[in-house]
Structure 1
Amino acid sequence: MTFFPRTAMLVLCAGIAAGGIRADEPAAPTWIPLFNGKNLDGWTVKIAGHDLGDNHGQTFRVEDGRLRVAYDDYDTFDGRFGHLFYERPFSHYRLRVEYRFTGAQVPGAPGWAFRNSGVMIHGQPAATMAKDQPFPVSIEVQLLGGGGEGTRPTANLCTPGTHVEMNDALVTRHCTNSTSTTYHGDQWVTVEIEVRGDEVITHRIDGVTVLSYQHPQLDEKDRYAQPLIVDGNHMLAGGTISLQSEGHPVEFRRVELLPLQ
């Protein structure tokens, strides 16, 4: 299943040519800010148990130029996993996100979701998610924060409804740790994801490669992924990008994308 046709990427790249460049010269790649620092224009909320577009409790909000995931209007988490979807899909790109964890976990959130969020790539369209579906079928770049001691890497891989390959072997475990350091406290961390369609995906933290894998694909046994497989094609060459709300407050101050050929 290809969520995003390859030809559409060429149209997007053609549309960002900078002024003053001669017609016979290729346009220089330009970083596109997906988050404008002012509001959620261009983004759509989907929270488990709620209709598409219902931003329950203002879970996703913009304050002081930052995109915040907050739970001050929640009495309890109650399984309301949420995702904020960007309005268009992508296939070949570099995505750069600056994030940090703040505050305390909301009551009722699972223990594993402590200082836990994610950037979902190659995802299904938000409108195709079931009302109670907790996570989009996607490739998750898992963002974790340390608890003050011990090892807890970030920019890991999790695979809701998907699989990948590493070293020419299919990987079916749900999560795979990166080689990153552990980030305790509330410092800002920069994660960059380089996506090459259905070929290779690379995770970097502060410019250092911490994980790489190949051939993202739909899990033919997953009940949410099965309807997305068309004519037996289960490879993922592109899809949506979304930011996660998983029960712990998190802030994003930069979300930008560089299209690649």
Structure 2
Amino acid sequence: MPRFRLPLALGLILAGLSLTSTATAQPESGRWISLFNGKDLEGWIPKFTGSPLGENYRDTFRAEDGVLKVAYDKWDRFDGEFGHLFYHLPFSKYRLRVEYRFVGEQCPKGPGWAFRNSGAMLYSQDPTTMRKDQEFPASLEIQFLGGGERGERPTANVCSPGTVFTMDGKLITQHCTESKSKTYRGDQWVTVEVECHGFGTIKNFVNGDLVMEYEKPQLDANDPDAAPLIKDGRKDLEGGWIALQAESHPIEFRKVEILPLAD
């Protein structure tokens, strides 16, 4: 299995220099920063279900032709090896911009719900705290969905593995909540932006349109992966790691940018 060549900072993390959930990166505010350099996966670290942190299972995550790819051409079949590519620093208050498109055919034996399905995990747990066999990090997932030949399938939804949040004053505990976006079919590029204010308001935008607004992300004390992350009763999430998903359907990302916010 191919192994990801880690930069020094990520090698130190794997050696045990784990960051804490309260530590956040402090880049300059007011300026867009590209998290993907268009040439390689410098600054990113993969984690696949069943594999150790840092192993790029079957060379799934790649930088080719100026885009970050999730590719399944070296897979015979999918058997629950969900993947996440983590940026090596945590963030708290920011605006994230991702341009993506689904391409090609789903990996054989991929689950039906994972057809043209991916996402960006925000407020995620430290990847060094994930179990080897853990499927998803405790996080808020901004779900990216592509439409089929018929039917409606909005994108920029919110799923919440190991987390809960509030919307319109109500605690949302269901796994996925749909946005108000339209359906995007085919291989077209779609731009999703998410504005995060720590434990405050979070807004999802698709191609510039506000499609969802919610707030107060929290760890779910009833989730077996999230419960050990709760220290001294503190469940509120004010920030965390960002990760891109690999869930059995090929996808390309041509922009992954962040705008740190001062407030």
- Fold shared per TM-score above 0.5: yes
The corresponding residue for 2:231 is 230
Q: Indicate the SS of the match to 2:195.
A: strand
The corresponding residue for 2:76 is 75
- Alpha-carbon shift at residue 12 of structure 1 (Å): 2.5
- Structure 1 distance, partners of 2:21, 2:148, is 37
- Alpha-carbon shift at residue 148 of structure 1 (Å): 1.7
Q: Indicate the SS of the match to 1:227.
A: helix
- Structure 2 distance, partners of 1:210, 1:162, is 21
Q: Which amino acid aligns with 2:124?
A: G
The corresponding residue for 1:92 is 93
- TM score, norm. by length of structure 1: 0.91
- Structure 2 distance, partners of 1:203, 1:3, is 23
- Structure 2 distance, partners of 1:83, 1:4, is 21
| Equivalences, count | 243
- TM score, norm. by length of structure 2: 0.91
The corresponding residue for 1:177 is 178
The corresponding residue for 1:105 is 106
Divergent runs of 4+, >4 A: none
- Alpha-carbon shift at residue 198 of structure 1 (Å): 0.6
- Alpha-carbon shift at residue 4 of structure 1 (Å): 3.2
The corresponding residue for 2:203 is 202
Q: Indicate the SS of the match to 1:61.
A: strand
1:12 matched to 2:27: yes
The corresponding residue for 1:41 is 42
1:3 matched to 2:26: no
Let me know the Cα RMSD of the aligned residues. 1.0
- Structure 1 distance, partners of 2:147, 2:121, is 21
Q: Which amino acid aligns with 1:199?
A: G
- Structure 1 distance, partners of 2:22, 2:75, is 35
Q: How does 1:87-166 map to 2 (within 5 A)?
A: 87-166=88-167
The corresponding residue for 2:17 is none
- Structure 2 distance, partners of 1:164, 1:234, is 11
Per-residue CA deviations over 1:122-159 (Å, capped at 9, x if unaligned) read 00011110001000000000000001211000000000
- Structure 2 distance, partners of 1:107, 1:221, is 33
Per-residue CA deviations over 1:169-220 (Å, capped at 9, x if unaligned) read 1110000000001000000000000000011111000110000101000000
- Structure 2 distance, partners of 1:3, 1:159, is 17
1:247 matched to 2:248: yes
- Structure 2 distance, partners of 1:137, 1:109, is 22
The corresponding residue for 1:19 is none
Segments of structure 1 that go 5 or more residues without pairing to the other structure are 17-28
- Structure 1 distance, partners of 2:27, 2:60, is 30
- Alpha-carbon shift at residue 164 of structure 1 (Å): 0.4
Q: Is the 8 A contact 1:4 1:90 kept in 2?
A: no
Per-residue CA deviations over 1:41-72 (Å, capped at 9, x if unaligned) read 00000000001111011110011000000111
Q: Indicate the SS of the match to 2:187.
A: coil
- Alpha-carbon shift at residue 168 of structure 1 (Å): 1.1
Q: Is the 8 A contact 1:4 1:91 kept in 2?
A: no
Q: Which amino acid aligns with 2:62?
A: R
1:65 matched to 2:83: no
The corresponding residue for 1:216 is 217
Segments of structure 2 that go 5 or more residues without pairing to the other structure are 1-19
- Structure 1 distance, partners of 2:109, 2:126, is 28
Same amino acid, percent of matched pairs = 57
